[in-house]
Amino acid sequence: MDNKYPWSFCSLGGVTRVKIASGEDIAHLGELDQKLWTVLSCPVDGLHFDKKTLTLMDTDKDGKIRVYEVVAAAEWITSVLKDKDLLLKSSDTLPLSELNQGVEAGARLYNSAKQILANLGKADAEEITLADSSDSVAIFAGTKFNGDGIVTPDSTDDEAVKEAIAQAVALVGSKADRSGAAGVDADLITAFYDALAAYVAWAEARTADILPFGDETEAALAAVEAVKAKINDYFLRCKLIAFNADAAGAVDVDVAKIAAISAGDMTAEMGQIAEYPLARPNADGVLAFEGINPAWKGAFASLKALVLDKELKGKKGMSEDQWNAIVAKFDAYKAWAGAKAGAAVESLGLEKAKELLKADKKADVLALIEQDLALTDEANAIDEVDKLMHLYRYFFEFLNNYVILGAFYSPTELAVFQAGKLYIDQRCLDLCINVADMGKHADMAGQSGMYILYCNCVSKSTGKTALIAAVLTDGDVDSLRVGQNAVFYDRDGLDYDATVTKIVDNPVSIRQAFWSPYKKLARAISDRIAKNAAEKDAKATGDLTAKANSTNIPTTQAEADAAKAKAPAENKFDIAKFAGIFAAIGLALGFVLSALAALFSHWYTPLIAILVLIVVISGPSMFIAWLKLRKRNLGPVLNANGWAINSKIIVNIVFGATLTSLAKYPKVATKDDPYAPKKSPWPTIIIIFLLLCGAFAALYFTDNLKWMGIERKPKVEQVEAPAEAPAEAAEAEVVPEAE
């Protein structure tokens, strides 16, 4: 006995596909042969679809939604609903009575939905909406515990615990609670108390021997560090002078440099002055406290007040050894400062940190967190209601873009991969797709058989950018080229400046293919004529210039006579030459007239000849276009965007015409347009004249002008030949001659 589910099928885009028309169809998706699915996987990002629904369906969080994940969602949602056909309505409101409480999941969802409504102040409501389940902040706003393992100051009534949580949030960071408030979890509260302990231990390790200048040690160290490099530089210059007295001029300040900047405002040159030595170096190697470089005088004064006046009291200068001894005094302090711990809570100060550490509310906070985690199942059940409502609202729409791609072929819907509309060259392109990887498109898009415009798009108002592939399915392509500007509107109505960056050339329509050979021929002839004209113009200009440059104007009678003698003799008329030319023209004209006579031997032969000519010229182009247009497949374009397409997504001629709309103008009068081109009667006259000539030629060569007295073959008069003489008479005449 065959227990297979009886699937229904339909034709979409010329391809047979499974029809999803009932809730039972959705419930049995797990029985559908995977070979019959249109899509095997699609990306979570880059689709114009509810992002949260896609995220909920992506159970393994790999950024793709695969068949088994769709089947799992279908089985779950249909198992908790009494009437599976409700999914086809894509409603955002679910009556609670439709939840199947006969199964554990359904009963849990019912209770959680009631809890949500109660939290929102709708305890008497008999239905729940997507907006209700999505507002997690409102749902958990009045709850102390919500199962997420995060507690806030409002989670307790103990003021000391409140303060501990608040200080932790302020100093070591926070996480968002389901209620929307900032709180801490076990890791954050542990980090907070660890930082308190480390900071207190570090701060209490500061002893008198570590602080050579007492409470001013930190400021003194800053003063030393500010001029340390410059003082070391000074003592090195002194050593060079002691090494070689001749080096004094090189290592001292150059007076010429000072002279170069002395003409202007020298306060504006303090940066350059700061590059000069701290003081004038000497062979003794003593830094006098007077005569300091003006650019460094302020920093040196701070050093003197905080350090030198205490260490070298009464001294007017210092040696390098004295300086090194002063610097060494800070080694212990720098080692202690470098080992600072608990910096995150340093702003509390030592006393407050010790107070919080002594109160030690860490265990109390961790107990609150455990109490919160005890409600995880209940809270997750509330989250499950949100999953239910998202699938209830969007799942059938998703299937219509996954199993059969019905939304793409619908005249009233847009597929999830359609990004917006591109307006270019008096047409609107509805099939625009966001490009995720241009490299993949370069390899695969050409296999689609479609005419594709790749465009870079930039929104001036928001700064957003987009790269799209716009498919052209109707109209001509004569005016389209790389670099052309257009306007793109996304699904939200935001406009972008678009620029064509690449074109994948393929046939667009049979009409375009019909005219293509003639347009190519006309373009080739036009280009050739323009090229020849340019070449002849350049040659003529060059010849004239060369002749002008080489011509000598005679200034004497002798030069004039000589120039006249050199002038080329005048060409004489050659009658034989022109007779030959006219004879050739006559022969050619006779051949043409003979061909026309044969062509117009019957009234229908010209029509057949024209038809044959059209078929010969346009037939191959139209046939190739017809073959390609029948096979246009969107699949390679979507595959390049990360989809796994399992079936052809045909864009045939009829459907393709709906994806590109052309501009249509009403017929308007031009008499009010001062710049409208003036109509000349001559084109009409010439066309009528040519038509009359053609009609006359057709009637003449088919001998149908007899009624006018015009015959193609005039009658030839019959002339009777003289009768032959009887044979006997001839013989009688011959005999006498013989005698």
| Through-space distance between the first and last CA atoms of the chain, rounded to whole angstroms | 128
Q: Do both 218 and 278 map to the same domain? A: yes
CB 120 within 8 A of CB 138: yes
Three-state secondary structure string covering 501-518: EEEECCCCCHHHHHHHHH
For residue 6, what are its two tokens? 């009886």
Positive or negative, the CA dihedral 160, 163, 165, 168 is negative
- What's the domain count of the chain? 3
Q: Do both 157 and 265 map to the same domain? A: no
Q: Which pLDDT score is estimated for 727?
A: 47
Q: Which pLDDT score is estimated for 734?
A: 43
Strands 644-645 and 495-504: unpaired
Q: Do both 178 and 221 map to the same domain? A: no
Q: Where are the beta strands (DSSP E) in 344-404?
A: none
| Residue 634 placed within a domain | no
Report d(CA 64, CA 423) in Å as an integer.
Answer: 32
Calculate the CA dihedral of residues 552, 557, 559, 560 and round it to 10 degrees. Answer: 60
For residue 435, what are its two tokens? 């490009």
Helix-helix angle 67-79:104-119, to 10 degrees = 80
Q: Do both 189 and 260 map to the same domain? A: no
Q: Do both 44 and 127 map to the same domain? A: yes
For residue 555, what are its two tokens? 């200034």
Q: Do both 179 and 130 map to the same domain? A: no
Which residue in 621, 657, 665, 663 sits closest to 474, CA to CA?
657
Report d(CA 63, CA 438) in Å as an integer.
Answer: 19
Residues 6+ apart with CB under 8 A from 97: 82, 126
For residue 168, what are its two tokens? 């932790």
Q: How far is CA 488 from CA 423, 457, 499, 526, 528, in A?
A: 6, 7, 10, 34, 37
Report d(CA 304, CA 298) in Å as an integer.
Answer: 10
| Residue 544 placed within a domain | no
Q: Do both 73 and 180 map to the same domain? A: no
Report d(CA 178, CA 172) in Å as an integer.
Answer: 20
Residues 6+ apart with CB under 8 A from 87: 23, 26, 77, 78, 81, 392, 395, 396
Q: Which pLDDT score is estimated for 619?
A: 64
Report d(CA 207, CA 219) in Å as an integer.
Answer: 17
Q: Do both 246 and 315 map to the same domain? A: yes
Residues in the chain: 739
Q: 110 by DSSP, 3-state: which?
A: helix
Report d(CA 387, CA 407) in Å as an integer.
Answer: 23
Q: Do both 303 and 348 map to the same domain? A: no
Q: How far is CA 33 from CA 3, 4, 244, 404, in A?
A: 14, 11, 95, 13
Q: Which pLDDT score is estimated for 31?
A: 94
| Residue 99 placed within a domain | yes
Q: Tokens 């896609």 map to which residue? A: 54
Exposure string over 266-287, b if 16+ CB within 10 A, otherwise e: eeebeeebeebbbbbbbeebbb
Other Cβ atoms less than 10 A from the Cβ of 125: the count is 16
Report d(CA 510, CA 529) in Å as an integer.
Answer: 29
Residues 6+ apart with CB under 8 A from 332: 209, 210, 212
Q: Do both 121 and 15 map to the same domain? A: yes
Q: Which pLDDT score is estimated for 736?
A: 44
Q: Which of 407, 429, 462 is the last residue of a domain?
A: 407
Q: Which pLDDT score is estimated for 586?
A: 66
User: Domain of 321?
Assistant: 213-329
Task: Determine phi and psi for 66, rounding to 5 degrees.
Answer: -105, 170
Report d(CA 596, CA 736) in Å as an integer.
Answer: 62
Q: Do both 217 and 254 map to the same domain? A: yes
Which residue in 336, 338, 343 sits closest to 195, CA to CA?
343
Nearest-Å Rg of the Cα atoms of the chain is 49
| Residue 560 placed within a domain | no
| Residue 731 placed within a domain | no
Q: Do both 203 and 97 map to the same domain? A: no
| Residue 673 placed within a domain | no
Task: Determine phi and psi for 40, rounding to 5 degrees.
Answer: -100, -25
| Residue 285 placed within a domain | yes
CB 11 within 8 A of CB 652: no
Report d(CA 237, CA 278) in Å as an integer.
Answer: 10
Q: Which pLDDT score is estimated for 90?
A: 94
Which residue in 424, 430, 527, 431 sits closest to 476, CA to CA?
424
Residues 6+ apart with CB under 8 A from 500: 424, 453, 454, 455, 480, 481, 482, 483, 484, 485, 486
CB 389 within 8 A of CB 92: yes
For residue 533, what are its two tokens? 């004209």
CB 147 within 8 A of CB 375: yes
| Residue 293 placed within a domain | yes
Residues 6+ apart with CB under 8 A from 34: 40, 67, 646
pTM of the model: 0.65
**Which regions in the chain score pLDDT beneath 50?**
1, 715, 718, 727-739
Helices (H) and strands (E) in the chain, counts: 29, 18
